[in-house]
Amino acid sequence: MNCFGRLYWSVVFCCACLLPSFLTADQPNVLLIVCDDLNTHVSTSGYPHITTPAFDELASAGVTFRRAYCQYPVCGPSRASFLHGLYPQSTGVLDNQLDIREVRPGTVSMPQCFKDAGYWTGAVGKVFHNAKVDPGGAVWDQVFRFENDELPMVTPMREKFEAENGPVTEGKSRRRWREFYPTIAPQTRGQAPGYGPTGLRDEQHKDGKNSRQVKKWLNDKVSENRPFFIACGLQKPHVPFLAPKKYFSMYPKADLKFSPASLEFWKTVPKLAQTKRYGGFGFEFGVENEELRREYIQAYHACISFIDAQVLVMLDALKESGHWDDTIVILTSDHGYLLGEKFMWGKVMLFETCDRVPLIVRVPDSIGGTSTTPGSSSEGLVELVDLFPTLGDLCGVSLPAELQGQSLRPMLRDPKLEGKKFAYTVVSRGENLGRAIRTQRYRYTAWLTGEELYDLQNDPLEQTNLANLEDSKAIIDRMRRNLDRIENEASARKR
The span from the CA of 70 to the CA of 58, in Å, is 21
Q: Which helix (H) or strand (E) holds 55?
A: helix 53-61
The span from the CA of 93 to the CA of 104, in Å, is 9
For the beta carbon of residue 24, count every other beta carbon within 10 angstroms: 22
For the beta carbon of residue 489, count every other beta carbon within 10 angstroms: 14
The span from the CA of 158 to the CA of 415, in Å, is 54
The span from the CA of 426 to the CA of 438, in Å, is 11
For the beta carbon of residue 262, count every other beta carbon within 10 angstroms: 14
User: Mind listing the domains of the chain with CATH numbers?
Assistant: 25-149+200-418 (3.40.720.10), 152-195 (no CATH)
Q: Which helix (H) or strand (E) holds 12?
A: helix 3-24
User: Cα angle at 74 between 384 and 109, to 5 degrees?
Assistant: 50
**Strands 241-243 vs 345-346: parallel, antiparallel or unpaired:** unpaired
The span from the CA of 490 to the CA of 487, in Å, is 5
**Strands 228-234 vs 241-243: parallel, antiparallel or unpaired:** unpaired
Sign (positive/negative) of CA torsion 31, 37, 40, 43?
Answer: negative
* H-assigned helices in 341-408: 352-355, 387-395
Burial class of residue 162 in the structure, from the number of CB atoms within 10 Å of its CB (0-12 exposed, 13-18 middle, 19+ buried): middle
Cβ 73 vs Cβ 335: under 8 Å: yes
Positions of the chain with pLDDT under 70: 1-25, 368-369
Secondary structure class of 75 (helix, strand, coil): helix
pLDDT, residue 473, reads: 96
Which residues have a Cβ under 8 Å from the Cβ of 7 and sit 6 or more positions away? none
Taking the CA atoms of residue 204, residue 210, residue 216 and residue 218 in that order, the dihedral angle to the nearest 10 degrees is -150
User: Cα angle at 111 between 105 and 115, to 5 degrees?
Assistant: 100
SS3 content of the chain, % helix, strand, coil (to 5): 40, 20, 40
The span from the CA of 196 to the CA of 188, in Å, is 9
The span from the CA of 217 to the CA of 143, in Å, is 11
The answer to whether the peptide bond before residue 193 is cis (omega within 30 degrees of 0) is yes
The span from the CA of 340 to the CA of 296, in Å, is 9
pLDDT, residue 14, reads: 36
Which residues have a Cβ under 8 Å from the Cβ of 143 and sit 6 or more positions away? 122, 123, 124, 134, 136, 137
* Nearest alpha carbon to residue 380 among 39, 107, 69: 69
Cβ 472 vs Cβ 464: under 8 Å: no
The span from the CA of 366 to the CA of 422, in Å, is 32
pLDDT tens, position by position, 223-258: 988 999 999 999 999 999 999 999 999 999 999 999
The one-letter amino acid at 154:
V
Cβ 269 vs Cβ 16: under 8 Å: no
* Nearest alpha carbon to residue 56 among 377, 409, 449: 377
